[in-house]
Amino acid sequence: MGIDALTFRNAMARLGAAVNVVTTGTLDDPAGFTASAVCSVTDTPPTVLVCLNRNSRVRERFRVDAAMCINVLAADQQDISGVFASPLEQAERFRSGHWDTLTTGAPVLDEAVLSLDCRIERIVEVGTHSVMFGAVESLRNSSPRGGLVYFNRTYHMLPHDDDK
């Protein structure tokens, strides 16, 4: 029998997740998208995964050995999430925020809570999505700020607790 796609999507809407802008390319030729399907795989070696819809306009830009940066958005960056989820062209998307690079050369959002600069080691195709495994080559933490999460199809701002 099994579970239909709509029932599954509705259930997954209740799985809260950090909001991220995932980038590739260079500052001169960037590409990026908004993602919540991001997680740590292992700390030895530091590895993360990102899921990207195979029908996405940016899918062809993400390939094995390409640079990839996961930029974790702060509580006040919902607008950037919207820009990178919109139909805007790639160059227009990168007019939001301030961009730099770390080790791999992928665009890094200066204002991100955390940026994980990776090299894509493997891509596994599963159903409608590409699961990209990134080896973390460097990272940058910003000054402590609250985070942005997506839960039940809406954004929620997490406060920053100065005592932790």
The answer on pLDDT for 79 being more than 70 is yes
Whole-angstrom Cα distance, residue 113 to residue 20?
10
Question: What is the tens place of the pLDDT at every residue in 139-149?
Answer: 999 878 899 99
Q: Is the peptide bond before 30 cis (omega within 30 degrees of 0)?
A: no
Give the model's pLDDT for residue 60: 96
Give the model's pLDDT for residue 144: 82
As a whole number, mean pLDDT of residues 58-69 equals 97
Instruction: Give whole-number Cα distances, 111 to 77, 108, 125, 145, in Å.
Output: 9, 9, 32, 10
Question: What is the tens place of the pLDDT at every residue in 83-92?
Answer: 999 999 999 9
Query: Looking at per-residue confidence, does 15 or 60 come out higher?
Result: 60
Question: What is the tens place of the pLDDT at every residue in 96-122?
Answer: 999 999 999 999 999 999 999 999 999
As a whole number, mean pLDDT of residues 122-138 equals 97
Largest CA-CA distance found in the chain, in angstroms, rounded: 50
CB 18 within 8 A of CB 149: yes
CB 140 within 8 A of CB 114: yes
CB 108 within 8 A of CB 99: yes
User: From 2.30.110.10, 3.30.365.10, 2.40.40.20, 3.90.1170.50, which CATH number describes the 18-145 domain?
Assistant: 2.30.110.10
Say which residues have a Cβ less than 8 Å from residue 35's Cβ, sequence separation at least 6.
20, 21, 22, 50, 51, 52, 70
As a whole number, mean pLDDT of residues 73-79 equals 96
The answer on pLDDT for 163 being more than 50 is no
Question: What is the tens place of the pLDDT at every residue in 5-54?
Answer: 898 888 888 878 999 999 999 999 999 999 999 999 999 999 999 999 99
Structure tokens at 22: 């995932």
